[in-house]
């Protein structure tokens, strides 16, 4: 049942909830999923009721089920019901800052660090006993102007990269379960993507970044996992082969890499790899000696036109993705890339696409939420047919 606090938030702050339900929100499966005891209406307005995804994940051997969150200043931090769901560690046992640990936010001027935004999510993790994934150190997007506009040599950019990596790892230390050291370095054909790092330093920016990260982690004395994180590497293909080669190469050089993060930004239908393909590629990464995680899971509609059948297919796609992780022992956990459509990054980046997350914009739960619960419990999907 909703708490008094939830109801107050619902009544006071969430005008969107008071509006008439959108057509797409009234088309989810008519019956409450078998895995819940209290669902009663279409759209499942039970944002804080069981089943609890993190509790189920942990009961079945995973470290966490978690979510990204984009705070401060995006509206998430002033939405009381959003906060209440996010903070409920029975639902989300892990958080990732979607933006505020990135280069532009943390080192806006060379050698001048700003940890304020990132600390907001660190505090959420610490206050509510959640695992924290720290994201990210070296990427070609969301860089500071002084990086993209600098007049660099290989030596000076390598030095700047080292300072950035080591300063952030040192600052947040063991509060980070893991760092995404490098993000999205490869193109779909398996070659390096163009980036300031690759263009100026060359291909060994990759091992150098992990070497600098390793030095900083060793200095902290903490066991902070060092990950490579990317999209399009969730099934066997040229890009995932390049990642496997790189992991093997680092390991052969004695350079530490602990994990591969599979972002898992999918499209409902054929844009989601099969359970078998997702499991196969996770097994292949694990065979190199690393752990894996689904780090940014969301499954969008393209176009964003939904009905009961479409929701059921999305539920099946979520079910398969989460089940793939459940079937791989060294898949440590699953992170969704925010949990409510109101705050999803998709519509801004892919106009006309959306409805990618587990909760509708009004905080009703989609069938996909219950499909994830079933997958985490290793039960058949109760909501995957319309
Ligand atoms: O902060 C400004 C705000 O002042 C302004 O009013 C608003 C207007 O659009 O934009 C705000 O900045 C946006 C920022 O997110 C904060 O919400 C940027 O425009 C927007 O481009 C930025 O998008 C982020 C995107 O990375 C950038 O590539 C998304 O939030 C973030 O979820 C997304 O995350 C990435 C992962 O880091 C790596 N994997 C892919 C994933 C999705 O793109």
| Eight-state DSSP code of residue 3 | -
Ligand 1 centre and the CA of 345: distance in Å? Answer: 7
Domains and CATH numbers, the chain: 4-376 (3.20.20.80)
Quick one: pLDDT at residue 43?
64
Q: What is the pLDDT of residues 273-300, one digit of tens each?
A: 999 999 999 999 999 999 999 999 999 9
Quick one: pLDDT at residue 44?
79
User: Of the residues 67, 99, 117, 262, which should be mutated to test ligand 1's pocket, given the most ligand atoms within 8 Å of the CB?
Assistant: 99
- In whole angstroms, what is the distance from residue 265 CA to residue 32 CA? 27
Q: What is the mean pLDDT of residues 39-63?
A: 84
Q: What is the mean pLDDT of residues 181-193?
A: 98
Ligand 1 pocket by Cβ (under 6 Å): 70, 74, 98-99, 141-142, 183, 263, 296, 345
Nearest ligand 1 atom, CA 135: 37
- Do residues 167 and 179 touch, judged by C-beta distance below 8 A? no
Catalytic pick among 184, 234, 263, 291: 184
Active site residue 55: no
Q: What is the pLDDT of residues 111-125, one digit of tens each?
A: 999 999 999 999 999
What is the percent of the chain with per-residue pLDDT over 70, rounded to a whole number? Answer: 89
Active site residue 155: no
Quick one: pLDDT at residue 159?
98
Which 3 state secondary structure label does DSSP give 64? Answer: strand
Long-range contacts: 99-103, Cβ < 8 Å, 24+? 99/70, 99/142, 100/70, 100/71, 100/72, 101/134, 101/135, 101/136, 101/168, 102/135, 102/136, 102/139, 102/141, 102/142, 103/137, 103/138, 103/139, 103/142, 103/143, 103/144, 103/147, 103/164
Quick one: pLDDT at residue 290?
98
Whether 20 shows a pLDDT value over 60: the answer reads no
User: Of the residues 71, 77, 98, 295, which should be mutated to test ligand 1's pocket, given the most ligand atoms within 8 Å of the CB?
Assistant: 98
Q: What is the mean pLDDT of residues 80-86?
A: 98
Whether 252 shows a pLDDT value over 70: the answer reads yes
């Amino acid at each position: 049942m909703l708490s008094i606090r939830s109801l107050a938030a619902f009544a006071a702050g969430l005008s969107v909830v008071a509006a008439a339900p959108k057509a797409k929100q009234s088309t989810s499966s008519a019956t409450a999923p078998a895995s819940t005891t209290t669902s009663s209406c279409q759209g499942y307005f039970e944002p804080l009721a069981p089943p609890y995804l993190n509790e189920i994940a942990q009961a079945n051997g995973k470290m966490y089920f978690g979510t990204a969150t984009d705070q401060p200043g995006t509206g998430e931090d002033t939405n009381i019901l959003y906060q209440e769901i996010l903070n409920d560690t029975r639902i989300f046992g892990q958080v990732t800052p979607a933006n505020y640990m990135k280069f532009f936010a943390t080192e806006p001027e060379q050698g001048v660090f700003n940890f304020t935004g990132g600390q907001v999510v660190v505090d959420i993790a610490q206050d509510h006993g959640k695992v924290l994934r720290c994201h990210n150190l070296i990427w070609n997007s969301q860089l500071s102007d002084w990086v993209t506009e600098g007049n660099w040599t290989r030596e000076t950019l390598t030095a700047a990269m080292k300072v950035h990596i080591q300063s952030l790892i040192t600052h947040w230390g063991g509060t980070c379960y893991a760092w995404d050291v490098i993000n999205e370095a490869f193109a779909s054909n398996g070659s390096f993507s163009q980036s300031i790092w690759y263009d100026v330093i060359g291909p060994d920016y990759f091992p150098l970044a992990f070497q600098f990260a390793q030095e900083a982690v060793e200095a902290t004395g903490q066991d902070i996992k060092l990950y490579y994180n990317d999209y399009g590497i969730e099934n066997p293909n040229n890009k995932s082969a390049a990642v496997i080669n790189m992991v093997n190469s680092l390991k052969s050089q004695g350079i530490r890499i602990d994990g591969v993060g599979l972002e898992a930004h999918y499209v409902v239908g054929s844009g989601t790899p099969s359970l078998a393909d997702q499991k196969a590629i996770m097994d292949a990464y694990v065979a190199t000696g690393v752990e894996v995680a689904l780090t940014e899971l969301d499954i969008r509609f393209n176009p964003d036109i939904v009905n009961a059948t479409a929701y059921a297919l999305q539920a099946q796609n979520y079910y398969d993705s989460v089940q793939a992780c459940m079937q791989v022992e060294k898949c440590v956990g699953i992170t969704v890339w925010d949990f409510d459509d109101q705050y999803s990054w998709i519509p801004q980046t892919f106009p006309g696409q959306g409805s990618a997350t587990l909760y509708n914009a009004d905080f009703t739960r989609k069938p996909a939420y219950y499909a994830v619960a079933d997958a985490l419990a290793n039960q058949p999907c109760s909501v995957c047919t319309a």
